[in-house]
Structure 1
Amino acid sequence: MRSWKERVTHMVLFEATGLAIVIPLSSVLSGHDAGAIGVLAVGLAGAAMLWNLVWNRLFDAWVPTRRRSLAQRIAQASGFELGLLVATLPVVAWWLGIGLVEAFWLDLGFMLFFLIYALLFNTTFDHVMRRRLAQEGGR
């Protein structure tokens, strides 16, 4: 099982890199002000970091291996994004002053982006960690 230190490192890297990509991209695609999107994205990132810790600890307990299949990776990413979507939809609508339907489509866009991003990031992160742990074990 992964340590809390590894999970916190994972969480911070995941969110910082994701924000650097999603803020300008979502502002351009949605037509909403980058400042409003940025503040919303940072707030959502805070919620996502807490959910990330909880969800990935649970997922680690259910699937306790670093060598996960594509189906397991998809389940990990989908479960995280679905949980976050349900929790954040009202916040997105309120912050941007839009209806729930428009907020759903915007949140769905975030979800689809982060679903693909999470799949790639988590696979890369685990690959790097496996190599790092193998090097430490060989010393």
Structure 2
Amino acid sequence: MFSLQPVTRRITYVVIFELIAVMLSSMILSGMSDRQVTDSLPVAVGVSLIAVVWNYVYNTLFESWERKKGITNRSVTLRVAHTVLFEAGFIVLAVPLFMWWYHVSFVTAFMMELGILVFFLVYTFVFTWLFDKIVPTAASQH
């Protein structure tokens, strides 16, 4: 267990999270598309890039909206809305990539995205839990 400054911790989290995510999602996409893992690697990298950029843009806009509305604490309802809107935006961005790369229909690409979404729900929980155990936040060390 060791500590990092907040910005370094966030960057470390994203880099490690995305590297592992690209490897695992390449394997999942390979299985869903009946292609080699190496054929799915570019789309996994693309989806990872979309996720990082979308996460930054979405959260910047959402937090700006919260400040304008004077919201200081997120209720459960607001957290659910935040998550659903994030995922909806991500689907809008990722599904066309799947359609183009794999030459599949909207429905097939959407189903692939749902499979990836389920994977990421579990992966994010497990990764974040382990990361927090190995690299705790400064606040959790007191």
Secondary structure, in 3 states, of the residue corresponding to 1:87?
helix
Change (3 A) 1:4 1:133: closer
Q: How does 1:3-14 map to 2 (within 5 A)?
A: 3-14=6-17
- Greater RCO structure (CA 8 Å; 6+ sep): 2
* Distance in 1 between residues matched to 2:107 and 2:140, nearest whole Å: 50
Comparing 11-20 with 45-54, greater Cα deviation is found at: 45-54
Q: Could you report, residue by residue, the CA deviation over 1:91-117 in whole angstroms, capped at 9, with x for unpaired residues?
A: 110111111111000111111101111
More deviation in 112-121 or 19-28? 19-28
Q: Are 2:23 and 2:41, in contact at CA under 8 Å, matched by a contact in 1?
A: no
Instruction: Give aligned pairs, total.
Output: 133
Identity %: 30
Give the Cα–Cα distance (whole angstroms) in 1 for the partners of residues 6 and 137 of structure 2: 14
Within 2, Cα distance between the matches of 1:135 and 1:102?
Answer: 43
The separation in 2 between residues aligned to 1:33 and 1:77, in whole angstroms, is 32
Under a length normalisation based on structure 1, what TM-score does the superposition of the two structures give? 0.69
Structure 2: runs of 5+ lacking an equivalent? 67-71
1:105 to 2:111 alignment = yes
- One of 123, 126, 137 as aligned partner of 2:132: 126
1:117 aligns with 2:102: no
SS in 2 for 1:98: coil
Name 2:46's counterpart in structure 1.
43
1 CA distance for matches of 2:9 and 2:50?
A: 19
TM-score (norm 2): 0.68
Change (3 A) 1:30 1:95: closer
Among 13, 18, 22, the alignment partner of 2:21 is 18
- Distance in 1 separating the partners of 2:97 and 2:85: 20
* 1:91 and 2:94 matched: no
> How big is the shift at 1:32?
2.6
Separation (CA, whole Å) in 1 of partners of 2:115 and 2:26: 12
